[in-house]
Structure 1
Amino acid sequence: MTTDAAVEYHPLDPDTLLDPYPVYASLRAAGAPVWSQKLDSWVLTSYRDCRQVLLDHENFAADWRRAGETVPDPALDVHTIDPPDHTAIYGVLANSLRDMASDGLAARTRDHIAAMLDERPDGPFNAITEFTEPLARWFIPEAIGVPPFDLTTVRPMAEAITQAMDSGLNPAAREPGVAAQRQLAAMIEDWVTGMDAGHPIRVLVANALAAGVPRHIAMNSLRTLVVNGFTAVPASLGNALNLLSRDPSLLADQLGSPEAIDRAPHEFFRYEAPIQGTTRLAVRDLEFNGVKVRRGQGMLMLFAAANRDPEQFDAPDTVRLDRWPNHHLTFGYGAHACTGSLLAHLLLRELLTVLVERGTTLKPAGPAVHKKLATVRTLAELPLELGK
């Protein structure tokens, strides 16, 4: 096994939380996957390696049952099953989300963002707790047509599920996460039961069942959209605002047309990926880029590292909002590419549109502080001041 203590990956180390990219560059310089005893996985940091694993579902499983693991039913969803079973639910979700990401939703989103900015009192504020998180938690129910979140009920479930994403580092988080998945899926079942037959979510579920998708997988896959309101969506907003506040030229000079604004979210997603990576398991013994991988071993693909790979991206540590094409891996690649990326893109695009149209400026009012999470790269504090 290729192991080098000098490039061992400790994702919750305070320095790594602050800036993981030097560590990622050191790992990538090894030229091959690096074995992490702590994570019981091969750590992949090059664009080529990550993309290869994402595209090879024959050898690398998102459905860990194929590698001999036991996976509880609440954890089975569009992200954790493989083709051919995966194909039907993925197609139904993708078609439904394309319909949801409408011009009408975009207009309602712009109006809501403008109202939030109008209601903002003068002076410094924490843009995470007072803007990006409330915006994301309004947007997801508005986009997918579920009731507004009752945060006293939904937030603890979402937080337990988010913590369970780091169960490789903290195994004790796994069971509470599975219990929360079960609770949230049951809540969504109640929502769906109470909807009219023509409601888009009822139609989505009916289409999934007609395509042969088991009902629990359909419900669990809807659950992943709800959890996005507490994970990738607010994370991507906060990460973008952090960058905009620290480089005023991004708003002032690089967003001069609707086309530029439409492309810009992809560069924010690439530069600071809200989801740092994900793991596949090898379903058989094989050799991969010079290392011997055994059945059941993890392949931790660090998308955030791949997105800064200089072999794929010119000047990868520079934000270029006009970078195009921009084949980042933030939302995966191939069969398991995240369908929810359509909504994340729409929300950030409309936020940028409003900021540009209003001539809003963002000024740091203190240091940004990251949450102590490995999988989701998201801020707990982002002190800002708004200006014009």
Structure 2
Amino acid sequence: MTGTAAPTQRDPLYDPLAPDVIADPYAVYRRLREHRRVYRHTQLRAWVLTGYAECRQVLGGTAAFGSDFRRMGEDIPDAQLSVQTLDPPDHGAIRHLLVSALHARSHTAVQDTAARLAADRTAGLLGVGRSVDLVSAFARPLALHTMCDFLGVTAPDGPWLEELSNAIVRSMDAGLEPSRAEPGTKAKAELSRLVSEWLENADEGGFIGAARVAHAQAPDVSEAVLANSLRGVLHAGYESVSRLVGNALARLVAEPTLLARAVAEDRLDALVNELLRLDGPVQAAARVCVADSEVGSERIRRGEEVVLMLGAADRDPEVFAAPDAVDLTRRKGIHLAFGRGAHACLGAGLASLQLRAVLAALHAAGIGFEPAGPAEYERTATLRGLRTLPVTVRGTASAR
């Protein structure tokens, strides 16, 4: 969560990094939404939106609310200029380039690779014979190798990438702890340098190579913006997807019959949709008001920041009946897990595909889990994910 933090002043209603909120933010979201759907947060000095309609309004266009804080005169480091932070018209050229590169890849090939890697990693769980951490032994390596295969590059050193990736995630909460900002900026620059090296040597077999080819037809896109945008693809494909898979696995541990029920009812895609809505890692997104606007019952002034609590919006009872429960008959495609509008997640299809591949592989292998210790969440508010998820793996026979 960005914003200008008040270093010693905690908000009386919502302290995003408090231990109880890290463990379960959704009860706090509910209380905050019931108190005021558009709330002026003391520490962030920003408006916090917890209602679905309000978040959809802000996401709907960039005329009134933007992602590019340079529109308000802020000095944004070069390492942060990317498809995620640019607004139209600058945003259009880089997004078109990346979409063109996505279309150059065979969907069937990507789907087959995701299924194979998920099946291989799942098979490895069966031979463990002891408790295992599903985060470090399954979700993280699976996301890394699936993403690097998609990009067409060799996976970088795990501990090195982990350090940089975690620094970037922590920097997303610099509005709460300003000391997190600088390490995140440095980590982004270092990953962008790696991506630039990949671009220089890429062939046309992966997404990086396809982006290099597309860049030749997009002279308006600078090399820096391309590298930063591809760094964002790498980071999201690793960090967001691994957290999504970890969060989904935690729900399967807590609800051991859920996967079998979804398969029996031929509703695996519906389960994916509900896991994205309930357990999506992206909890918040920031925008800056560039034109005075009315949101909910509040007047948002030009220059003020808004923080969209997507995790709260996706459990708004005005839109989702029984919002905290998995409902396999719920209408698909209305959640905000991937955002909306110009800055909707480019990798939404790939993330959904990977999660489905994991669920299918677990079911095909007949794997079940039993808790082997308490799950622990990372102390991050913007991107929610598990640090550890210890379980005992049960095969087909023992699960039955």
**Structure 1 unaligned blocks of 5 or more:** none
Say yes or no: does 1:245 pair with 2:253: yes
Say yes or no: does 1:206 pair with 2:206: no
Tell me which moved more, 191-200 or 269-278: 191-200
Residue 138 to residue 173, structure 1, CA distance change in 2 (3 Å)? same
Residues 295-340 of structure 1: CA distance to partner in whole angstroms, max 9, x if unpaired? 2211100000000001111211101234222311111001110011
Counterpart contact for 2:316–2:323, Cα < 8 Å: yes
The aligned residue for residue 29 of structure 2 is 24
Counterpart contact for 1:67–1:296, Cα < 8 Å: yes
User: C-alpha displacement at 1:237, in angstroms?
Assistant: 0.3
Give the residue type in structure 1 aligned to 2:252: L
Residue 341 to residue 7, structure 1, CA distance change in 2 (3 Å)? farther
Residues 77-131 of structure 1: CA distance to partner in whole angstroms, max 9, x if unpaired? 1110111111222222234335546222222332222222333311211111111
Say yes or no: does 1:159 pair with 2:171: no
The aligned residue for residue 233 of structure 1 is 241
Counterpart contact for 1:264–1:322, Cα < 8 Å: no
Give the residue type in structure 2 aligned to 1:366: G
Q: Distance in 2 between matches of 1:110 and 1:56?
A: 36
Partner of 1:355: helix, strand, or coil? helix
The aligned residue for residue 290 of structure 1 is 297
TM-score, scaled relative to structure 2: 0.90
Residue 53 to residue 64, structure 1, CA distance change in 2 (3 Å)? same
The aligned residue for residue 49 of structure 1 is 54
Give the residue type in structure 1 aligned to 2:122: L
The aligned residue for residue 73 of structure 1 is 78
Give the residue type in structure 2 aligned to 1:217: V
Partner of 1:103: helix, strand, or coil? helix
Counterpart contact for 2:150–2:207, Cα < 8 Å: no
Q: 110, 129, 141: which one pairs with 2:136?
A: 129
- Map 1:85-100; keep pairs closer than 5 Å: 85-100=90-105
Q: Distance in 1 between matches of 2:358 and 2:182?
A: 36
Give the residue type in structure 1 aligned to 2:289: A
Q: Distance in 2 between matches of 1:305 and 1:282?
A: 21
The aligned residue for residue 124 of structure 2 is 119
Give the residue type in structure 1 aligned to 2:239: T
Counterpart contact for 1:101–1:346, Cα < 8 Å: no
Q: 249, 254, 269: which one pairs with 2:262?
A: 254
Residue 197 to residue 311, structure 1, CA distance change in 2 (3 Å)? closer
Q: Distance in 1 between matches of 2:102 and 2:272?
A: 18
Q: 179, 190, 194: which one pairs with 1:187?
A: 194
User: C-alpha displacement at 1:159, in angstroms?
Assistant: 1.7
Residue 347 to residue 197, structure 1, CA distance change in 2 (3 Å)? closer
Residues 232-282 of structure 1: CA distance to partner in whole angstroms, max 9, x if unpaired? 11110001001011112211212236x622332221110012010111011
Counterpart contact for 2:102–2:207, Cα < 8 Å: no
Residue 131 to residue 199, structure 1, CA distance change in 2 (3 Å)? closer
- Aligned residue-pair number: 383
User: C-alpha displacement at 1:380, in angstroms?
Assistant: 0.7
TM-score, scaled relative to structure 1: 0.93
User: C-alpha displacement at 1:162, in angstroms?
Assistant: 1.2
Give the residue type in structure 2 aligned to 1:223: R
Counterpart contact for 2:253–2:371, Cα < 8 Å: yes
Q: 11, 14, 25: which one pairs with 2:16?
A: 11
Residue 266 to residue 36, structure 1, CA distance change in 2 (3 Å)? same
User: C-alpha displacement at 1:32, in angstroms?
Assistant: 3.5
Give the residue type in structure 2 aligned to 1:224: G
**Structure 2 unaligned blocks of 5 or more:** 1-9
Counterpart contact for 1:32–1:289, Cα < 8 Å: yes
Q: Distance in 2 between matches of 1:385 and 1:325?
A: 33
Residue 101 to residue 349, structure 1, CA distance change in 2 (3 Å)? farther
Counterpart contact for 2:11–2:43, Cα < 8 Å: no
Give the residue type in structure 2 aligned to 1:92: L
Say yes or no: does 1:279 pair with 2:286: yes
Say yes or no: does 1:315 pair with 2:315: no
Q: 374, 384, 387: which one pairs with 1:380?
A: 387
Partner of 1:78: helix, strand, or coil? coil
Give the residue type in structure 2 aligned to 1:135: L
Tell me which moved more, 137-146 or 370-379: 137-146
Tell me which moved more, 90-99 or 367-376: 90-99
Give the residue type in structure 1 aligned to 2:248: A
Q: Distance in 1 between matches of 2:388 and 2:371?
A: 11
Say yes or no: does 1:360 pair with 2:367: yes
Residue 192 to residue 248, structure 1, CA distance change in 2 (3 Å)? same
User: C-alpha displacement at 1:348, in angstroms?
Assistant: 0.5
Residues 134-156 of structure 1: CA distance to partner in whole angstroms, max 9, x if unpaired? 11111110112122122243222
Q: Distance in 2 between matches of 1:313 and 1:83?
A: 32
Partner of 1:331: helix, strand, or coil? coil
Counterpart contact for 1:308–1:316, Cα < 8 Å: yes
The aligned residue for residue 145 of structure 1 is 152
Give the residue type in structure 2 aligned to 1:324: R
User: C-alpha displacement at 1:199, in angstroms?
Assistant: 5.4
The aligned residue for residue 333 of structure 1 is 340
Give the residue type in structure 1 aligned to 2:48: V
